């Protein structure tokens, strides 16, 4: 009963992650459900614990723990002039306080990426425990097939003008693999249970469902995606078909070699169909969408990366000026290189290929249920190809689905794992009934075998619980509001100038609001109005200590009252450099810059102001009223400089602006 509840909880988490938009709420919900499932499996012993201990070899534990350890290392203080990112030294000078250098440019983004990886790891391990039993493995296979088919149908049913979810093509490819595995398993059952004049009816519904699923998923891939996703699906399913052919018709060394050679030739021929982009980075060579900003980021990649989750934080800095909310998304391979470094991506590719070889070997060595490790081998080929084509596999729903698939594959890759576990359990019970065991028999050996595996699951579940509290606590405290503009309004900042570019930014905004609210004391309600601005300023400074790339927060601090001209100039310069192309910040940034004589006199600032004014006058006439507002609040030198700029670009608008300013001044 406990295992069934755990299985249900995990499938609910995957379904919720696919159905909900990617935000803090969906990640928090999935993390809580998977943490509960992991803790239940760890606390309540079962026969599956023995099988899990057999699966978790020391080498596999090291491989699974390495990404989490690397993400944790990225937020650890580094010695000066080593791997630390130089943005921290620049932010330290602007804030006029010491900041420790770390690898990550955004601590919040890295911690959220670590939370997602822990959730993915929990999904894989819990699935492996569940599917050690062959009957539960079949149930999980069928349920995963149903989830992917429904999700693909919903994605396929969206209008072509609607931007589909980032994991749509990934889910469709996994649906093809799952339907192929279900069909092969059903065919094997039909062949094994057939009798003269009678066919067992049990596999027929599964075979029919697999045929429907493969039609839906392939139709979605052919119509809504590019050829790369189609080739990935064909290569992955080709592995499944090759294993099936070897076991049925080509047993023996030479037969196996012939089938594998044919599959290799087919794979190489299929790769020629994929449209490779030349003269670009290999991580975006298979992408058909615009990757201009991503290519610029890849040119500045550091050996240790910029921190997990940093690619979406850095994207606004590299996109072209004048573009609104960023629609470009780096491919998964490019994001891994930017976030974690080239060595990390190369290691993942090598591990994926080794995993495919191991799973193929285990599939060929199994007497029954060989389709599960073959499914994992096919996914090990298809998923890396998708990583070089789009961002889908890094989505929460798609990554949890991939984790469940690999958990199913490895859970059934070890022959008789479940039976050995049950025999060990029965053996222990018999020894207890028989009385004290002889001294030569280590009665506690099974307990020692399973203790470390259960302890690892318990640690993972506990870490997920802590991460979930860290994610959702600010939202609970503030009633679920997560917009930084609410903070701005409460602290008398201009409204609507901030658009968080990631879930990490939204989470930081929640903490900002929480800190600003916590400053209030019921006993000092009369003084609340006087302390709002200093409290907000302190909260903004706190946010910059964990995310120095927030150009909106730098601008708010620059616009804060009681700042001297040197502080204003330093913080305004950070706003220009960390959010150079954010049109939402342009009105306030021009007002602050033109109102400060020290800024107007500096040649570097003059070029930055000229770029903004030129953008407004020549390319964004809809926001020309911002120039009038900046002109009214500008200093004497600022007005002269702004008039000179506009006279060069549009003398007619200069006369119009002067006339409107005179009319408003006379009222």
pLDDT tens figures, 441-473: 444 345 555 677 778 888 988 999 998 888 877
With CA atoms as reference, report the closest residue to 171 among 333, 30, 382: 382
Cα(235)–Cα(225) distance, integer angstroms: 16
Residues 143-150, mean pLDDT to the nearest whole number: 92
Q: Tens digit of pLDDT for each residue in 295-330?
A: 989 988 888 889 998 888 888 888 876 544 446 789
pLDDT at residue 433, rounded to an integer: 36
Residues 136-157, mean pLDDT to the nearest whole number: 89
Q: What pTM, to 2 d.p., does this model score?
A: 0.84
Q: What is the mean pLDDT of the chain?
A: 78
For the ranges 206-210, 262-266, 332-336, which has the lowest average pLDDT? 262-266
pLDDT at residue 434, rounded to an integer: 39
Instruction: Examine the pLDDT at 109 and tell me if it is beyond 80.
Output: yes
Which stretch, 192-201, 293-302, 623-632, has highest mean pLDDT? 293-302
With CA atoms as reference, report the closest residue to 574 among 74, 72, 78, 99: 99
pLDDT at residue 662, rounded to an integer: 72
Q: Tens digit of pLDDT for each residue in 549-560?
A: 888 888 888 887
3-state secondary structure of 553: helix
With CA atoms as reference, report the closest residue to 512 among 479, 486, 530: 486
Q: Tens digit of pLDDT for each residue in 357-396?
A: 899 888 888 777 889 999 999 999 999 999 998 888 998 9
Residue 253 class from Cβ within 10 Å (0-12 exposed, 13-18 middle, 19+ buried)? exposed
Nearest 5 degrees, angle CA 539-CA 544-CA 545?
A: 95
Instruction: Examine the pLDDT at 249 and tell me if it is beyond 80.
Output: no
Residues in CB range of 580: below 8 A, 6 or more apart: 317, 321, 551
Residues 336-355, mean pLDDT to the nearest whole number: 93
pLDDT at residue 481, rounded to an integer: 45
Q: Tens digit of pLDDT for each residue in 581-591?
A: 888 888 888 88
């Amino acid at each position: 009963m406990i295992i069934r509840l755990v299985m249900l909880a995990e499938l609910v988490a995957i379904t919720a992650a696919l159905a909900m938009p990617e935000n803090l709420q969906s990640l928090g919900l999935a993390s809580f459900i998977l943490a509960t499932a992991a803790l239940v499996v760890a606390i309540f012993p079962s026969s599956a614990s023995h099988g899990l201990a057999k699966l978790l070899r020391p080498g596999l534990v090291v491989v699974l723990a390495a990404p989490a350890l690397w993400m944790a290392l990225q937020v650890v203080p580094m010695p000066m002039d080593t791997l630390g990112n130089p943005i921290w030294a620049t932010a330290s000078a602007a804030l006029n306080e010491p900041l420790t250098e770390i690898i990550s440019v955004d601590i919040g983004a890295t911690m959220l990426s670590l939370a997602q990886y822990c959730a993915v790891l929990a999904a894989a391990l819990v699935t492996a425990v569940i599917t050690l039993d062959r009957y539960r493995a079949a149930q999980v296979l069928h349920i995963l097939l149903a989830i992917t088919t429904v999700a693909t149908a919903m994605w396929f049913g969206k209008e072509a003008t609607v931007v589909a979810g980032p994991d749509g093509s990934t889910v469709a490819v996994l649906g093809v693999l799952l339907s192929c595995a279900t069909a092969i398993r059903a065919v094997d059952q039909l062949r094994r249970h057939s009798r003269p004049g009678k066919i067992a009816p049990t596999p027929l519904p599964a075979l029919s469902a697999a045929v429907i699923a493969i039609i839906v998923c392939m139709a979605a891939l052919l119509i809504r995606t590019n050829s790369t996703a189609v080739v990935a699906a064909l290569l992955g399913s080709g592995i499944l078909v090759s294993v099936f052919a070897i076991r049925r018709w080509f047993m023996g060394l030479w037969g196996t070699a012939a089938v594998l050679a044919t599959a290799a030739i087919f794979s190489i021929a299929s790769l020629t169909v994929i449209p490779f982009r030349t003269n670009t980075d290999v991580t975006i060579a298979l992408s058909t969408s615009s990757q201009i900003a991503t290519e610029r980021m890849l040119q500045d990649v550091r050996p240790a990366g910029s921190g997990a989750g940093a690619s979406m934080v850095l994207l606004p800095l590299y996109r072209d000026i004048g573009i609104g909310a960023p629609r470009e998304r780096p491919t998964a391979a490019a994001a891994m290189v930017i976030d974690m470094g080239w060595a990390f991506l190369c290691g993942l590719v090598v591990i994926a290929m080794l995993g495919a070889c191991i799973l193929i070997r285990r599939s060929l060595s199994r007497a029954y249920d060989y389709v599960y490790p073959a499914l994992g081998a096919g996914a090990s080929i298809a998923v890396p190809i998708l990583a070089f084509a789009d961002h889908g596999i890094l989505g929460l729903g798609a990554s949890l689905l991939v984790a469940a698939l690999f958990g199913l594959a490895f859970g059934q890759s070890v022959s008789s794992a479940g039976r050995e576990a049950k025999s060990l359990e029965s053996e222990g019970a018999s020894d207890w009934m028989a009385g004290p065991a002889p001294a030569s028999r280590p009665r506690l050996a099974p307990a020692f075998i399973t203790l470390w595996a259960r302890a690892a699951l318990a640690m993972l579940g506990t870490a997920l619980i802590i991460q979930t509290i860290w994610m959702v606590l600010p939202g609970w405290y503030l009633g679920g509001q997560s917009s930084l503009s609410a903070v701005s309004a409460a602290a008398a900042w201009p409204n609507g100038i901030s658009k968080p570019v990631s879930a990490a930014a939204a989470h930081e905004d929640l903490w900002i609001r929480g800190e600003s609210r916590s400053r209030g004391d019921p006993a000092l309600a009369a003084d609340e109005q006087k302390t709002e601005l200093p409290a907000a300023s302190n909260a903004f400074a706190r946010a910059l200590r964990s995310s120095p790339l927030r150009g909106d927060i730098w601008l708010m601090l620059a616009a804060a009252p009681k700042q001297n001209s040197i502080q204003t100039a330093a913080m305004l310069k950070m706003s220009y450099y960390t959010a150079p192309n954010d049109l939402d910040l342009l009105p306030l940034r021009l007002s602050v810059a033109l109102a400060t004589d020290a800024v107007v006199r500096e040649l570097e600032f003059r070029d930055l102001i000229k770029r903004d004014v030129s953008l407004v006058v020549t390319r964004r006439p809809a926001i020309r009223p911002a120039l009038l507002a900046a002109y009214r609040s500008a200093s004497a030198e600022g007005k002269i400089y702004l008039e000179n700029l506009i006279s060069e670009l549009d003398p007619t608008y200069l006369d119009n602006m002067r006339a409107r300013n005179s009319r408003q001044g006379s009222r």
